[in-house]
A and B are shown apart, each in its own frame.
Chain A
């Protein structure tokens, strides 16, 4: 007899925060009801094969983290920003752009009519079966941000969204963002996930982008939660004709890190570029699952992920490209390179190509390697110290991707964090 599956604890199905318009409360309830029989992933769950063992949710972590009186750490981010603490927007710490054609609202501030329209569209970019935990976010979000760009609206500088969790007690947070990018609009959105405190917490985030014809969206996702945070996040994207989506996901490891990025190229001539960098150490984990669906003809996708793992850490990359029968003249290119800095580290990579159209150009490649001894010898034979040579070569592995991040403040943050990593991993001498 097959053992009964372990289900998601019902403790997780009690949302807090009732300050939402009725249509959104109804949506939450409906999504929650759908999760009553949700089995927890095991190693036999295909898309959690390598990561299920890192997911350790306890009932103590089911409670929503308190938001009252939390101000978070002072963040000196220049320009437009929205600060979420424990999944709830802190208006006094935020700085919204003052533009007529870009509306940024908290879910709680929506009229019933607006909320009802939003409820129709939430989750539309994510396949509930493939991304089970996105449904949990929909059942639990207490707040959220909807960003609406009217036709032709252009945000003149990046909008930073800082998601901080205060892990002073066990609990969870469910940050939610919905971006409605109208025709020919443009925005650069930076999501930065950070935490303070040392208790075990669970972050379950979802960000959705709906790109209308000709919209141009750049999303930078910086995953820098602390060592006690398990984070399951999802980003869903749908793209209409000639729209462009560019994503830069930079992640540092933790006890559990999972990010699902799903892009659907629904309109002719849409294109996306997905870059990813993951760095793990100690016993950390990071799992990126990406899916690009070429639904319409003449769409381009370009994906480059690079992972670095050291000590006994574990990185997973699963990149799937699905070319639908009508998607003739698709161009899809996916590359994943991996660098193991120690023998105890593990990287599992799996590119998946499913092609149902005959006139397409697709390429994929994955490599796993170590630092090149010959290159190392070349550098030190010029008087460069071993530590510095190791740093130069490791940086070289991801430099190209870091250099492409279009926001300098983010690049600086990444560089500082990388320097910490190098200080810990490559010792003097």
Chain B
């Protein structure tokens, strides 16, 4: 067998048009060179697509050929030829199952795998983690989002008495004012709940308790911790899939990741709403209070804070859908 190609000595870049010849007893030689050795000493690079293919010799020289089929035959004659990845990469009977498998895997992974695994990790991490996270994040949000409350001490005291019976010993309600958030309440991972003056000013006591139920839902389901784990997980998976991708651009990465994050965030809101409804039922508070609170919050944001509405729409379920869902529970 004779395979035409180009020989490179490995010592200089000079090219020598030559041919690789297979002799009896599996001896191999290269025309116009001293190369004469056993076939098993050759390192034949695995085939990839139909590109040029290389044969490496022990002395550092190499031979480049376009004759992939001949090199395949040569490779098969070697004593320990490995599994051919090219076979997997060229036959439709391997490609189509790979494609279907990958698609199904990705869909399942994003719908069930991500929420389930973040939930699992969040539940298995020691409670300590949530506490440490919370103490750090309180400092941050106090610095960036909140100002001290402008409500009277009396009013604040009344509110604390209102909330007290519903809180477990390690949970605490703080009252702050916030221009950025407007009428809103947030939950930190360590059980600290922050209500804004703007929210308190427009809601009744029952509605405040409904909001409390919603925020307690976030704490109980460890949503803050889950969000953190989820973003690390998505980054990790993204690195895994595209790690070998030459020339990927980050515009492409940013968009789906953003959409995914918002999607998961909406699931959290629904979960917290469900928790709030159970909470209200358990404490014999009319469940319409939650809808009342939501309606007032939506109104407050439409009138005062057009900027924050945008964020609100994306990370939370659409108002209409959310209210309809609650009516259905009712």
The reply to whether chain A is a binding partner of chain B is no
Mark B residues whose CB is within 8 Å of A: none
